[in-house]
Structure 1
Amino acid sequence: MKKIWIRGLTGFVALLLIILISAIVWASFTYEAVEGAETFAGTEENGGYRFGDPDASIGIIFYPGAKVEPDAYNYLGHDMSQKDYFVHIPTMPFHLAVLYPTKANDIMASYPYVEQWYIGGHSLGGAMAASYTEDYHEKLSGLFLLAAYSASDLTNIDLPVLDISAGRDGLATPEKMAEYEINLPDQTTKIVIEEGNHANFGDYGPQKGDQTSSLTPAEQHDIVITELDQWIDSLNNEAVLNE
């Protein structure tokens, strides 16, 4: 009986080691930014990268997609900072926002002069931004999702949402996006980049399971920046009119 027990324990420990080693190997793989992305690099600060003036009135927090390194979204930080927004893109544990969805709290505390905060993310990063929004919506002025759907029920939250998806997305497919639309509030603006795909929301090259796009990443980036800037601007203009 004792030998059987020892064999069982040994087998269990061996299984745990296999799982641990597999997890470490999996965690070591990431989607790195393509060559040239460093041209738009931000400043490494507070567990991530900042772009623009930290004393700006409007700040943006952006959660990267799963296993995607934060500098694959340098274009978003750089281009939005050129429009006078402050942007922070955090580095998540093992590049998984699901392991630190409340990272936004640390960022906000580090930049107290920002008056309005918008949070968003790509893919799993967007889902975690939505999860954060469910619990901390009173700290936010808006949520934006790039090829991301909310598993959290936000229908009772009085907060504007910008939902940007892609018609040729092979991961956050149009069918899957439609399935989760029920979780978004009435104040949701929906944009579909018909020829866009999943990977083109970042700068990390092709992604397994995705569809091809007739757009270059830069062309899709330009659409994202334009829509995001116009959305935030319209919300602030509306707020001024209502004063």
Structure 2
Amino acid sequence: MANQGAAQVGSSEPHGATGKKRHVARWVAVALAVIVLVCAVGFAVYVNDYYRASSGNEVYLASTTDLEVHRSEGIVAFGNPDASVGVIVYPGAKVAYDAYAPLARELAERGVFCAVVEVPFNIAFFDSNAASRVIELYPDIETWYVAGHSLGGVVASGWVADHVDELSGVVLLASYSTADLSQSGLSVLSLYGSEDEVLNRDAYEDALSNLPSDFEEGVIVGGNHAQFGNYGEQAGDGAAAISPKDQWEETADAIVSFAGIAG
């Protein structure tokens, strides 16, 4: 009897309660697995729905006797790697990096070495340090500028704030800086198209205080948001009144003038 009583005192809880807890734990595990799967699928769908370079863009990526195109992992660069001035371009959100080949080529034709960086999932936030890779790869460039289109400009400006000593300036294409560059000593050029309806103008105006007081601002008359690249129309954008080529040329001219390069 004593042993039976001891056995009764030592039993912690009814078998049914233990089974119920295990059942609940299994359902919690299943629910978490479903949530993770749904999030993963949703993310995959989101990042694979991006703007690809327009048909025929390949011609801008080809080397010629007058202009060499250099390729390395995550980078496509245009022009002479011994040039005195280089520009690094961060692409806009969910835009393929090679869509900026026409603009990069226009810069290279004006004597500027231009490298466009590829970022994971076509979102610059996932590789904000991309410019460092370019600078390390092309050490002979004496003067560097970092440019970014749309969200790419926001991310680029954040990187710039931590690497001021490595650069001469920043080019914001339909973008703005959320980092404080006002006392950086850097030159800043801000360009946007008059027909741009994607750029958040309130955020743009609010962020002007983050720029040096002598920053340069330029408006490309007839240009829109998407035509800084070559990926067709962008949802919510205004209709451009000039051709993509005109916008690439005007943008390249403005950057060359800003950097003080004889085109």
- Gaps of at least 5 residues in structure 1 are 237-243
Task: Specify the code of the residue in structure 2 equivalent to 1:224.
Answer: T
Q: Is the 8 A contact 1:46 1:110 kept in 2?
A: no
Using the TM superposition, name which of 208-217 and 41-50 deviates more.
Answer: 41-50
% identity of equivalent residues: 32
Deviation of residue 69 (structure 1)?
1.0
Partner of 2:60: 40
Partner of 1:212: 239
Q: Find the partner of 1:58 among 80, 85, 93.
A: 85
Q: Deviations over 1:54-103 (max 9, x none)?
A: 11111111111111111211112111111121111111111111111111
Task: Specify the code of the residue in structure 1 equivalent to 2:38.
Answer: I
Structure showing greater radius of gyration is 2
Partner of 2:32: 12
Partner of 1:83: 110
Query: Equivalent residue of 2:260, what SS?
Result: helix
Q: Is the 8 A contact 2:75 2:134 kept in 1?
A: no
Partner of 2:43: 23
How far apart in 1 are the matches of 2:124 and 2:140? 25
Correspondence 1:119 to 2:146: yes
Q: Is the 8 A contact 1:70 1:91 kept in 2?
A: yes
Q: CA RMSD in A?
A: 1.5
Deviation of residue 131 (structure 1)?
0.7
Q: Is the 8 A contact 2:106 2:248 kept in 1?
A: no
- Gaps of at least 5 residues in structure 2 are 1-20, 62-68
Q: Is the 8 A contact 1:130 1:152 kept in 2?
A: yes
Deviation of residue 115 (structure 1)?
0.6
Q: Is the 8 A contact 1:166 1:174 kept in 2?
A: no
Normalising to structure 2: TM-score of the pair? 0.85
How far apart in 2 are the matches of 1:213 and 1:103? 31
Deviation of residue 46 (structure 1)?
4.0
Q: Find the partner of 2:125 among 98, 102, 110.
A: 98
Partner of 1:170: 197
How far apart in 2 are the matches of 1:55 and 1:194? 34
How far apart in 2 are the matches of 1:209 and 1:56? 38
Q: Deviations over 1:2-42 (max 9, x none)?
A: 32232122111101110011111211222111122222113
Query: Equivalent residue of 1:59, what SS?
Result: strand
Q: Deviations over 1:178-225 (max 9, x none)?
A: 122121112310112242211111110011111112122112112111
Deviation of residue 151 (structure 1)?
1.1
